[in-house]
Amino acid sequence: MRSFTLVSALAAACAVQAAGPAKARATTITPITAKGNAFFVGNDRFFVRGIDYQPGGSAANADPLADPKICLQDIKKFADLGVNVVRVYSTDNSLDHTECMNALADAGIYVMLDANNPLYSINRDKPAPSYNAAYLQSVFATIDSFIKFPNTMGFFSGNEVIHDFPNTTLSARYVKATTRDMRQYIRARGYRTALVGYSAADVTDNRMQTAAYFNCGTDDERSDFFAFNDYSWCSSDFQTAGWGEKVKNFTDYGLPIFLSEYGCIANVRDFGEVEALMSDKMTSVYSGGLLYEYTYEANKFGIVKIPGSPKDLTGTREEMDEFAAFKKALKNNPAPKGDSGYSPTSKAQPCPTKDAFWSVDSTLLPKIPDAAKEYMSKGAGKGPGLKGPGSQWAGSTSTGDAEPGSATGAFSNAASSSSAAVAGLLGPMDKTPFVVSAIVAAFTLLGAVAL
């Protein structure tokens, strides 16, 4: 509940700013594109050398890019670390982000944004009703509020929605439909290219199937990239962590891949992952990764402490020992020059078939809900922010399956493949947002019944 107070305070603090013009200033930073299985900045390959940024933790559900008192301190630290991408899990699509986004651009830093938040997301236990027009309106409004900044690299269409219970794979159709809709929205609105893909949980049993699923079918149904979370390297080495097999498994995947979270804390961390990710053992197949995570929270993964967090995220940052260790790992292992032998041709994977770990038995995706179609031509309008009524039981759901290839338009890239990983124990695989969602859903239901 504290998190709600915090978010309100942030919203109040930002109200003045939000009233101002939300126009991005001209900057020289070049948007990231995808070709074959790699990312590019202009004609040069681009490797993600980044960090996950979620001050206050997932429970706070705070938007660090809406408040310069939060972001500006951290952007200095990001520049000092030498990261080139930050992933932000929670953003408020009713607020202005100009100052933080421009400060990031000035520091040469791109942003990967999660398009979902606890109130506006696909519910992994009840996915069909949660794929609805109100949900898509929020997702599209997030695209509207960030795509004007050239340093927006792209969007995660879902984060760890599919989990370790086989029945959670049934949510994959809805997350993939959301991915399709987001890509179509970007084309329909005439926006520049921004990349859309899924961030998978560290689950060995279904990683390869999940990867194949998000890169199978017609081009409109495929993703721009695939990312997964990986906590298998616990201050060990390439062999021990089993990363060789993960390279082998994803060779020929057909889309760019990267680690959306890494950084097991079972041992004192030396960040040997960075050397591996930047080495020729991996760079023809992988495009880097994001360390989990920047701020030190209850889950103990961070490298910077914020005194007063999560109530107050403006306190003076305190670097922990791992800050210097991560900075050193980045400095000692620069991104390779040249194209590192990437595959220039994007290609699709066969869709996975149903088995003990994968419950989806159709390659068809649900149609976009009728009430959401008009966003394609008219735009999504004002976003509901992080405190709206929530979307999971809002109605206006899909009314059947879509014809493959029906989400038409021009495509920049598309495809995906697979992998596997170490579940549960080592990584954070945070279930908090879903607990929150369930509570909200329960209240919404009760509220509806009471009426």
The site for ligand NAG (CB under 6 A) is made up of 125, 165, 167, 204, 207-208, 242, 245-246, 249, 419-420
Query: 373: closest CA among 140, 120, 191, 147?
Result: 140
* Shorter beta-carbon distance to ligand NAG: residue 20 or 244: 244
* Shorter beta-carbon distance to ligand NAG: residue 60 or 420: 420
* Interatomic CA distance for residues 143 and 155, integer angstroms: 8
* Shorter beta-carbon distance to ligand NAG: residue 165 or 411: 165
The nearest distance, CB 211 to ligand NAG, in angstroms, is 9
The nearest distance, CB 163 to ligand NAG, in angstroms, is 9
Contact 385, 62 (CB under 8 A): no
The string of DSSP letters for 358-407 reads --------BPPPGGGTHHHHH---S--TTSSS-STT---B--SBPPTT-S
Going from the C-alpha of 448 to that of each of 10, 134, 162, 394, the distances in angstroms are 29, 16, 28, 10
* Interatomic CA distance for residues 231 and 330, integer angstroms: 19
Amino acid at 164: D
The string of DSSP letters for 307-321 reads TTTTT---SPPEE-H
The nearest distance, CB 125 to ligand NAG, in angstroms, is 4
* Shorter beta-carbon distance to ligand NAG: residue 5 or 167: 167
Alpha helices in 251-332 (DSSP H): 272-277, 321-332
* Shorter beta-carbon distance to ligand NAG: residue 64 or 366: 366
Residues with a catalytic annotation lie at 160, 261
- Here the tokens at position 281 are 């053992």
The nearest distance, CB 208 to ligand NAG, in angstroms, is 4
Peptide bond into 403 cis (omega under 30): no
The nearest distance, CB 336 to ligand NAG, in angstroms, is 23
The nearest distance, CB 393 to ligand NAG, in angstroms, is 15
* Shorter beta-carbon distance to ligand NAG: residue 220 or 230: 230
Q: Which residue is closest to ligand NAG by CB? A: 420
Q: Per-residue b/e over 237-261, b at no fewer than 16 CB within 10 Å?
A: ebeebbbeebbebbeebbbbbbbbb
Query: 34: closest CA among 219, 215, 225, 251?
Result: 225
